[in-house]
Amino acid sequence: MKKNILLLLLLAASIVGAKAQIYMAKNGEISFHSDSPLEDIDGKSKTIMSLFNTSSRDMMFTAKIKSFDFKDQLMKEHFNENYLESDKFPDATYKGKVNETIDFTKDGAYPVTTTGKMNIHGVERDITEKGTLTISGGGKNILIHCEMMVRLADYKIEIPKLVVTNIAEVIAVKVDIPFVPYVKEEKK
């Protein structure tokens, strides 16, 4: 009987212990580079909203298409109007999970993989990507870094024949998200 109660207490304690430890980043960076014979196109956003649950290892981010900046404004307009159609699809999102079990209290750099659903231009795809997860400050800071190749055709982003030499078919995308523990904001 006493044993059972002890078990129950342990169980309860483990639930409390496993209570979601949520990390957040509002200033994640996503940049991309298109390399083509005629011109190089670079876009970058520094306001990627991202969340990470270290107990379930669920991870997600939302990138506002309009937050991407370019070297000239015309590129930005074309990016929004003609390619990503940000009026219809304002966000690119990722919802996934880090596959490896990691001790998030131990500093170090861990090679990881993540599997989940990427949604760009209204097209959702299952992807698995490799990256690095760096823990520092005794688990206070978690940095996720990932480099991937995105094929525009996979997300139904069409390139008209006239500008086919200006835009690469496969775009190199770099993701850097510096997570810190999420603190619930006091409602004023």
Partner 1 sequence: MNKKFILTIASACALLFAFAPAKAQDDLSKLMEEQTKAVKGEPVIATFKTTRIINAQSVETVKKRTLDFRIAHRFGPIGTNGGGKHTLYGFDASSDIRLAFEYGINEKLTVGLARCKSRETLQGLIKYRLLQQTTDGKVPLAITLYADAGLMAEKAPDTRYSNYAHRLNYCTQAIIARKFSSGLSLQVMPTWVHRNFVSYHDDENDLLSVGMGGRVKITKRSAIIFDYFQTFSNFRKSKVSYTYSKPTFAPPIGLGWEVETGGHVFAIMFSNSAGLMESDFIPNTTTKGNILEDMRFSFSISRNFPL
* Residue from the set 35, 82, 122, 170 that interacts with partner 1 by CB under 8 A: 82
Rg (CA), the chain: 20
* Residue from the set 33, 36, 46, 51 that interacts with partner 1 by CB under 8 A: 51
Give the other-Cβ count within 10 Å of 162's Cβ.
Answer: 7
Task: Report, in Å, the least distance between residue 184 CB and partner 1.
Answer: 9
55 binds partner 1 (CB under 8 A): yes
**Distance from C-alpha of 179 to C-alpha of 188, rounded to nearest angstrom:** 25
**Distance from C-alpha of 98 to C-alpha of 59, rounded to nearest angstrom:** 7
Give the other-Cβ count within 10 Å of 131's Cβ.
Answer: 18
5 binds partner 1 (CB under 8 A): yes
**Distance from C-alpha of 54 to C-alpha of 72, rounded to nearest angstrom:** 39
Please state the φ and ψ torsions of residue 121, each to the nearest 5 degrees: 60, 30
166 binds partner 1 (CB under 8 A): yes
| Positions in 95-134 near partner 1 (CB under 8 A) | 95
* Residue from the set 2, 126, 160, 187 that interacts with partner 1 by CB under 8 A: 160
183 binds partner 1 (CB under 8 A): no
Task: Report, in Å, the least distance between residue 86 CB and partner 1.
Answer: 9
Q: Considering only CA atoms, which of 32, 22, 46, 58 is closest in space to residue 120?
A: 32
27 binds partner 1 (CB under 8 A): no
Is 105 exposed, middle or buried, given 0-12, 13-18 or 19+ CB atoms closer than 10 A?
exposed
CA dihedral of 59, 182, 178, 149, whole degrees rounded to 10 = 20
**Contact range with partner 1 by CB under 8 A, out of 119-127, 135-143, 145-153, 162-170:** 162-170
* Residue from the set 13, 123, 163, 170 that interacts with partner 1 by CB under 8 A: 163
Residues of this chain that bind partner 1 (CB under 8 A): 1, 4-5, 7-8, 11-12, 15, 18, 20, 22, 24, 26, 49, 51, 53, 55-56, 58, 60, 62, 64, 66, 71-74, 76-78, 80-82, 85, 87-88, 91, 95, 160, 162-163, 166, 182
